[in-house]
Amino acid sequence: MSDSQDMQLSKLDDWLTNAASRGAIAIVAHKNGDMDTIGSAISLAASRPEAMACGVHICKLARRLLEKLDAPFLHLDAQSPHWPKKLAGIVVVDSAAEDQTGLELPRDVPRCIIDHHSTSDWSLEEGDMQLLWPVSATTQIIHQYLSKHKKKVLTNKVRRLLLAGLVADTGRFRHADASSFESASQILDDGIIDYADFIEEFEEDILTRSDKGAISKALGRSDGIDAGPWWLLKSSAGTQESVVCRALMSAGADVAICMRRREGISRLTARASRGAVLAGVHVGNILRTLASTHGGEGGGHDGAAGWSCSLDLMAVESAFIHALAGVEKK
């Protein structure tokens, strides 16, 4: 950790202490909450009784882990969220823009943005602060803060949440860097967590017979094409798109996509191999650009991302293939 990052953590502690002295703090996760944003929100909220982790939606994996750990998370209504009367601070974790939260945040409350994405569309005002670190997961930032200022908060439950966010956002460490492994080692340092048991539990997919049937059909109708220098495997499914993408990646794809259309909205889920990422592919940037050009919401990480929009599936697929084909191989 650099001196500037150490100073940022001290400023974060001062900001949180000041907000807590004046009222409640909302720790807001992004919508369709993955393990990184949910783990970050709940772990940071554990540092103060005035704080509560909240958001509009969480993914299946996060929901399953929260139920197992009995971790507190407040579900908000996107249309009419009920904020505390004395809301003194809002911390948004793992979100590059306000619309990624799925909420319209109160305008008269100081904000703190904690994120690991390289881009940010937040407009900060006096009293606001932002931590943007070039790490693999936001849980790494939260872990560093807790280790420095709130070490007693690092219970078994919190460590498991932090580790789950790190494992998820690095694609089970396929897209990890040195700092990722260092964070994982520090989280596991006290020996409370047996990593082998943790990862087996983490990777356990609870699939219904219907889910398994849908995945099987999706794999059966998969197709492969050359998108410029990249071997792309593609399919569509009504559910479990991430599972389908993982299976397609195991079949040798440089990039895999799985699409669905529901209630007038098309959703494309994309994954890229580590080799493809190192050779120049960043599916998060591709989908962020497509969302900017064609509408909807898109973005994510270099090896895992998503895009939702109103285009039909054929237009979504064509736009992605064209964009991927334009990525030169290093």
What per-residue confidence (pLDDT) applies to 35? 93
| Assigned CATH topology for domain 214-325 | Diaminopimelate Epimerase; Chain A, domain 1 (3.10.310)
Stretch 305-310: mean pLDDT, rounded?
Answer: 93
| Assigned CATH topology for domain 3-203 | inorganic pyrophosphatase (n-terminal core) (3.90.1640)
pLDDT in tens, 18-40: 999 999 999 999 988 899 999 99
What region, left, alpha or beta, does residue 36 occupy, with left being phi > 0 and alpha being psi -120 to 50 degrees?
Answer: alpha
Q: Tell me if 35 sits within 8 A of 108, measured CB to CB.
A: no
Domain boundaries, the chain: 3-203, 214-325
Give me the phi and psi of 222, to 5 degrees please: -65, 155
What is the C-alpha end-to-end distance of the chain, expressed in Å?
30
The burial class, CB within 10 Å (0-12 / 13-18 / 19+), for 207 is middle
pLDDT in tens, 238-283: 888 988 999 999 999 999 999 999 989 999 999 999 899 999 999 9
What per-residue confidence (pLDDT) applies to 205? 62
Global pTM? 0.79
pLDDT in tens, 153-207: 999 999 999 999 999 888 888 788 899 999 999 999 877 888 888 888 777 666 7
What per-residue confidence (pLDDT) applies to 292? 92
- CA atoms of 51 and 41, how far apart (whole Å): 10
What per-residue confidence (pLDDT) applies to 119? 76
Give the C-alpha distances (Å, rounded to integers) separating 131 from 21, 212, 330: 21, 41, 31
